[in-house]
Amino acid sequence: MTATEVRTGTGTRTMTMVAAINDALAVALERDAKVCLFGEDVGVMGGVFRATDGLQARFGRERVFDTPLAEAGIVGMGIGMGLAGMRPVAEIQFAGFLYPALDQILSHLGRYRHRTRGRFSVPMVIRAPYGGGVHTPEQHADSPEAVLAHVPGVKVVIPSSPTDAKGLLLAAIEDPDPVFFFESIKLYRSTKEEVPEGHYTVPLGKARLVREGDDVTVVCYGGMVEVCTKAADAARAHGIGVEVVDLRTLVPMDTETVLASVRKTGRVVIVTEAPRTGGFHNEIAALVAERALDSLLAPVVRVTGFDAPYPPFTSVEDTYRPNATRVAKAIKQVLDY
Amino acid sequence: MTEPQEQDMLTIIDASGGCVRPDLVPDEETLARLYRAMRRARHFDERAVVLHRQGRMGVYPPFGGMEASQAGTALALTHDDWLLPTYRDTGAALTYGLPISQIVLYWRTSPHGWAMPEGLKVLPFYIPIATQYPHAVGCALAERMQGRRNVAMAYIGDGGSSEGDFHEALNFAGALDAPCVFVLQNNGWAISVPTTAQTRAVNLSRRAEGYGIPGVRVDGNDIVAVHHVTREAVERARAGGGPTLIETVTYRVKPHTVSDDPGRYRTEDLTREWLEKDPVTRLRTYLTTRGLWDDAREDALTRDITQEFEAAVEEADRFSEPTPSEIVDHVFATPTPQLTEQRAQLLEEYGA
Ligand SMILES: Cc1ncc(C[n+]2csc(CCOP(=O)(O)OP(=O)(O)O)c2C)c(N)n1
């Protein structure tokens, strides 16, 4: 069942991304008694970003609850719940605080189906706000998606719009396997759009063309989509057609959409706010090198964060995180080659 | 019957400023030192909130109301001992001797605030909860292995004591006889989660038993009691007697940080009760009753502390903003070729 077809609502409502996430969680709790939510401060307080606002009051303390402060416990317990028939949705307060749970994630989360040859699996979703751009304190702006994408057996989803966030989150919750769902802190409240009410899903593994264009392909995801779209619109004003591919999910990756675009334009810029070395963006470069080399008119260009921890130094933070100017420069670079 | 909160808890100066354990009261000079340290800490905390409002400091987690717990513990150390504070423990760090200008710069998110002063054995404020606890075990053992009788003191909150790192560290310290003092500040809240939801345990100091080490519970708003038990723990560790867990029972009367709205998760009835037990007022009342303190001395102290603070802020103001290329400095002792290239790129894009 691919679910864009199964829409239950009729109208739309104006929502920010965080409101759309809240709405998706409510729809999931409403539809499936096996769905439960837990994490630090998600109950009474409704989460530090208000993503779970009002859900405890509406669905009760048994299904929406605060845990003790321990990420390994949160993920480990969620694995147990998933094994035993529930659909746990855990919130990790910030992606940078996921690390105590890495043991559970690397040792078990992605491995259970494989090591029991299909007998047991963990249909769990782990949501975590990630990324920079809003002057959070030290260690609150990490982008560790590549770490998770490297773990066999877990999917990684990173939405870039309210509508996608809701549909992808519902798809993630309904997915039979573990899914990481990273939410750009910068995007939580930066834009609003009309979001369908009720239930719908956006399938995992399907990229989205945010802008179409014939000259340059820009591949990005999450918080960088806004930045790249800005750069693309500026280029359009100069008669340059930039195609912006929003990956939406890193695992599984929609290789066909990326390759089709690169084959059309012959030029590719890959953008991420994660550190440069060893990041997921390199996977895209490798894909292009393996399968679209013949189409390339210029070398691949990466626009990334730096090989240093995300700076907690407010006044220079914006020089770490790629902005439209840096993306525009990269677009020019592949065009001028 | 006493409230479960108050079971097995040592108090020397009670909430009304009366002395309930005259046998444990230190000399006048120590009392004055304790009072001064709390007033310094409080002054910082109050001014920090103002600096934040003026846009001269970033997000800041206030500790007002917890001065006894922080200053009373930190004052038991010498500069040969290690201090491992969390973001909440600005009061402990400045009591230990971290310069106020440095702390202002830290909360201003300037790299100058991150550059810890040479020769001072204080580690930067820990943000990832509980991660400092195993470090303290390592610092303490390293001191012993290098033939020195110094200790390591690490702070944690009630919420932090749920993390695995907390439990592993206590067990390591016990098993390896590490000269550590573990301060668990039970302030009733971990952001929106009350301690009663964090754990079914009421007396958190009793967790020490599970690791075979001493645990003590102390009135965290009574600096005389806090200092008393901490000195004992430090002496025991120094003498080779191993680690101690100290639970200071106090309350977060302030919001979690300056950008938190506690109205979302609590009413302030309990806060008002705890304000009645204020640590600074309590000691002042006691000192005044004994004739050791008066308004003139209070005014002089206020002047002193205000001057010190204002001078420190001026000093902090003299530091320049960082340049973009500083982002990639200090990643390795010798930068990788990639970082060298990235630094050049930043210089090209942003200059200087
Ligand atoms: C590993 C980790 N998880 C989550 C957080 C987010 N967080 C910051 S403070 C806090 C609550 C801490 O409560 P407590 O340990 O009681 O200390 P307090 O803030 O009351 O001093 C949380 C959950 C974090 N900083 N680190």
Question: What are the pLDDT digits (tens) for B29-79?
Answer: 999 999 999 999 999 999 999 999 999 999 999 999 999 999 999 999 999
B204 lines ligand 1 (CB under 6 A): no
Q: Verify whether the Cβ–Cβ distance B338 to A68 is below 8 Å.
A: no
Q: How confident is the model at residue B6 (pLDDT cuts 50, 70, 90)?
A: low
Going by CATH, does the domain composed of A208-336 fall within 3.30.56.10? no
Does one domain contain both B189 and B207?
Answer: yes
What is the average pLDDT across B98-108? 96
**Residue B81: is its pLDDT beyond 90?**
yes
Domain for residue B157, yes or no? Answer: yes
CA of B224 to the centre of ligand 1 (A): 28
Contact call for B164 and A137, based on CB within 8 A:
no
- Residue A55 pLDDT exceeds 80: yes
Q: Residue A8 above 80 pLDDT?
A: no
In a domain, B14, yes or no: no
Q: pLDDT by residue (tens digit) across A235-282?
A: 999 999 999 999 999 999 999 999 999 999 999 999 999 999 999 999
Residue B265 sits in a domain of what CATH number? 3.40.50.970
* Residues sharing a CB contact under 8 Å with residue B323, sequence separation 6 or more, in sequence order: A316, B350, B352
A4 pLDDT exceeds 90?
Answer: no
The dihedral sign for the CA sequence A276, A281, A283, A286? negative
Homologous superfamily (CATH) for A9-196: Thiamin diphosphate (ThDP)-binding fold, Pyr/PP domains (3.40.50.970)
Which residue has the CA at smallest separation from atom 25 of ligand 1?
B128
A136 lines ligand 1 (CB under 6 A): no
Q: Are A130 and B52 in contact (CB under 8 A)?
A: no
Is residue B12 assigned to a domain? Answer: no
CB-CB under 8 Å, A311 with B339: no
pLDDT at position A9 is 76
Instruction: Tell me: pLDDT of B4 over 90.
Output: no
Q: Does B100 lie in the same domain as B202?
A: yes
Whether A201 lines ligand 1, by a CB cut-off of 6 Å, is: no
Q: Is A93 in the pocket of ligand 1 (CB under 6 A)?
A: yes
- Tell me which residues of A are annotated as active site: 140
Q: What is the pLDDT of residue B8?
A: 86
pLDDT > 90? residue B24: yes
Among candidates A40, A308, A319 on the partner chain, residue whose Cβ is nearest the Cβ of B193:
A40
CB contact under 8 A, B193 and A319: no
Whether residues B274 and B328 fall in one domain: no
How close A117 gets to chain B, by Cα (Å)?
Answer: 31
pLDDT at A2: 42
Q: Provide the percentage of residues in chain B whose pLDDT is more than 90.
A: 96
Using the beta-carbon criterion (under 8 Å), do B338 and A139 form an inter-chain contact?
no
| Residue whose structure tokens are 């991420």 | A272
Decide if A73 touches B, using CB distance below 8 A. Answer: yes
Residue A92 has pLDDT above 80, yes or no: yes
Note the pLDDT tens digit of each residue in B157-173. Answer: 999 999 999 999 999 99
CB contact under 8 A, A319 and B346: yes
Query: B349 contacts in A (CB within 8 Å)?
Result: 319, 326
Ramachandran assignment for A79, one of left (phi > 0), alpha (psi -120 to 50 degrees), beta (any other): alpha
Closest approach of A7 to chain B, Cα-based (Å): 34
- Determine the residue of A93, A94, A103, A185 to mutate for testing ligand 1's pocket, defined as the one with the most ligand atoms within 8 A of the Cβ atom: A93
Confirm whether B47 is domain-assigned.
yes
Instruction: Check whether residue B347 and residue B222 sit in a common domain.
Output: no
- pLDDT of B144 higher than 60: yes
Provide, rounded to the nearest whole percent, the portion of chain B with pLDDT above 70: 98
Q: Across chain A, what does the average pLDDT equal?
A: 96
**A68 reaches B (C-beta below 8 A):** yes
Q: Across residues A306-335, what is the average pLDDT?
A: 95
CB of residue B158 inside a 6 A radius of ligand 1: yes
Q: Is the same domain home to B250 and B347?
A: no
pLDDT tens, residue by residue, A109-145: 999 999 999 999 999 999 999 999 999 999 999 999 9
Buried b (16+ CB within 10 A) or exposed e, B8-46: ebbbbbbbebebeeeeebeeeeebbbbbbbbbbbbbbbe
Catalytic residue status for B256: yes
- Integer Cα distance of B247 and A277 in angstroms: 44
> Cβ of A73: how many Cβ atoms within 10 Å?
17
pLDDT single digits (tens) B252-280: 999 999 999 999 999 999 999 999 999 99
Q: Do B109 and A319 touch (CB under 8 A)?
A: no
Mean per-residue pLDDT, A296-312: 97
Which chain B residues touch A315 with a CB distance below 8 Å? Answer: 109-110, 321-322
pLDDT of res. A1: 36
Instruction: Decide if B304 is inside a domain.
Output: yes
Question: Do B316 and B329 fall within a single domain?
Answer: no
Write down the pLDDT at residue A225.
Answer: 98
Interface of B with A (CB under 8 A): 58-59, 87, 109-111, 114, 127-129, 159-160, 162-165, 190-193, 197-199, 264-265, 321-324, 326-328, 331, 336, 338-339, 342, 346, 349-350
Q: What percent of chain A has pLDDT over 70?
A: 98
Mutate one of A38, A53, A69 to test the B interface: name it (highest B CB count within 10 A). A69
Residue B236 in this model has a pLDDT that exceeds 90 = yes
Q: Where are the domains of chain A?
A: 9-196, 208-336
Share of chain A above pLDDT 90, in %: 96
Question: Is the distance from CB of B88 to CB of B276 less than 8 angstroms?
Answer: no
Q: Which member of B127, B162, B327 has the closest CB to residue A316?
A: B327
- Return the H-helix or E-strand segment holding B184: strand B180-186
So what's the ipTM on this one? 0.94
Q: What is the pLDDT of residues B283-332, one digit of tens each?
A: 999 999 999 999 999 999 999 999 999 999 999 999 999 999 999 999 99
Euclidean distance between CA atoms B243 and B238, whole angstroms: 10
Q: Where does the pLDDT of residue A178 fall: very low under 50, low under 70, confident under 90, or very high at 90 and above? A: very high
Taking the C-alpha atoms of residue A237 and residue B253, their distance in angstroms, rounded to an integer, is 55
Residues B317 and B283 in one domain: yes
Q: How many domains does chain B have?
A: 2
Q: Are residues B38 and B81 in the same domain?
A: yes
Query: Ligand 1 in contact with B184 (CB < 6 A)?
Result: no
Contact state of B339 with A276 under an 8 Å Cβ cutoff: no
Q: Which pLDDT value is given to residue A3? A: 43
pLDDT at B352 (0 to 100) = 66
Mean pLDDT of chain B: 96
CA of A184 to the centre of ligand 1 (A): 21
**One fold for both A9-196 and A208-336?**
yes
DSSP result, A198-252: S-----TT--EEEE--SSEEEEE-TTHHHHHHHHHHHHHHTT--EEEEE-SEEES
Q: Specify whether B256 is located in the same domain as B346.
A: no
Same domain, B192 and B123: yes
How many angstroms away from the CA of B309 is the closest CA of chain A?
23
Query: pLDDT tens, A141-156?
Result: 999 999 999 999 999 9
Residues B344 and B295 in one domain: no
Cβ B160 under 6 angstroms from ligand 1: yes
Q: How far apart are CA B167 and CA B17, in angstroms?
A: 36
DSSP string, A96-158: GG-GGGHHHIIIIITTHHHHTTTS-----EEEEEE--SS---TTSS---HHHHHTSTT-EEE-
Angle between helices B295-317 and B28-53 (to 10 degrees): 50
Is ligand 1 within 6 A of the CB of residue B254?
no
**Structural domain range at position B326:** 322-352
